[in-house]
Amino acid sequence: MKNQYFADTRDLFKYDLVMRIVSANPQVKQFTFIPMLTRNRQGDGGEETDYSTAKAGTNNLELITFLKDCLRNNRRDITELENFFANSLEGIRFTIYKQDLFFTCAERTRYFDEINEKLLRSALILVDPDTGLEPGNNTADEKYLRYREVKLLYETMDRKSMILIFQFIPRKERLSYFASISKRLRAEIAQSVNVYYVSDNEVVFFILTKEENERLKGALSLYAKDSSLIVGLEP
């Protein structure tokens, strides 16, 4: 995640999905955002801000108004989410983990080890790397999330929590790619993990739970129908 990307069309999808999941799951009492924030790079993206081209989130006028205001007033910073979610997710505690720290490979072990267990209780846990899950084993690149880091979060969270992982889609056939990542998540994390996914054909979000979640499946199914998304509901 880079602040220069904040409020682009992928964020419209991302935060709309968060709001849908939280509203459909009353066991979720907090939203924990693990941004894996990296430094801005000049000329390195952030221009995708035409919400009329988006598939997901286009009916969420509250979110669109907020994101457009951030763009218009040059407030492209994840800390802007604090006020928004304080008002839009009533009764839900929102935390941005290490919001002022830039993520680096040299400090990644400490970064994940220092996550307070309280942030992983009855929580929706959004992990937002620049690119997504590592393509190899223990990839030494700050833009990737390692499987062993997902495993640490999964083993620490309680049974009411769920992990939401952002992933860019490479140039591969979509359904076979989603199936291969789901298979690897089970191999690397736990065979018992439930893996769901939802995609707009450009990015995909993988959702991990410890228990099969019918409320989540119903919400994702309706979301996919409303926004012409690709969804995987079989754990």
- Confidence (pLDDT) at 47: 81
pLDDT of 182 higher than 70: yes
User: CA-based angle 209:66:35, to the nearest 5?
Assistant: 40
Q: pLDDT digit string (tens) for 126-167?
A: 999 999 999 987 677 999 999 999 999 999 999 999 999 999
Q: Is the pLDDT of residue 39 over 80?
A: yes
Q: Token pair 């604090």 is at which residue?
A: 82
Task: Return the structure tokens found at 215.
Answer: 């409320």
Mean pLDDT over each residue of the chain, to the nearest integer: 95
What helix, strand, coil percent values describe the chain, rounded to 5?
40, 20, 40
Of 230, 200, 194, the residue nearest 214 (C-alpha): 194
Domain extent listing, the chain: 3-232
As a dihedral over the C-alpha atoms of residue 134, residue 35, residue 231, residue 226, rounded to 10 degrees, the angle is -150
Strand partners, 95: 32
* Mean pLDDT in residue range 64-82: 96
Query: Can you give the pLDDT at residue 59?
Result: 94
Domain 3-232 in CATH 3.40.50: yes
Nearest-angstrom CA–CA distance, 164 and 24: 15
Supply the angle between the helices 61-72 and 9-24 in degrees, to the nearest 10: 140
- Rounded CA separation 8/46 (Å): 6
pLDDT of residue 42: 77
Continuous H helices in the chain: 9-24, 61-72, 81-88, 108-113, 147-156, 174-188, 214-227
**Nearest CA among 149, 156, 229, 148 for reference residue 196:** 229
pTM of the model: 0.96
Indicate whether 204 pLDDT > 80: yes
- Whether 43 shows a pLDDT value over 90: the answer reads no
pLDDT in tens, 99-116: 989 999 999 999 999 999
Give the number of residues written for the chain: 235
pLDDT of res. 235: 65
**In contact, 31 and 123? CB cutoff 8 Å:** yes
Please give the backbone phi and psi of residue 47, each rounded to the nearest 5 degrees, phi first.
-90, -10
Whole-number pLDDT of residue 76: 95
Is the four-CA dihedral 98, 156, 218, 91 of positive or negative sign? negative
Alpha-carbon dihedral sign for residues 129, 175, 21, 186: negative
Is pLDDT larger for residue 1 or for residue 44? Answer: 1
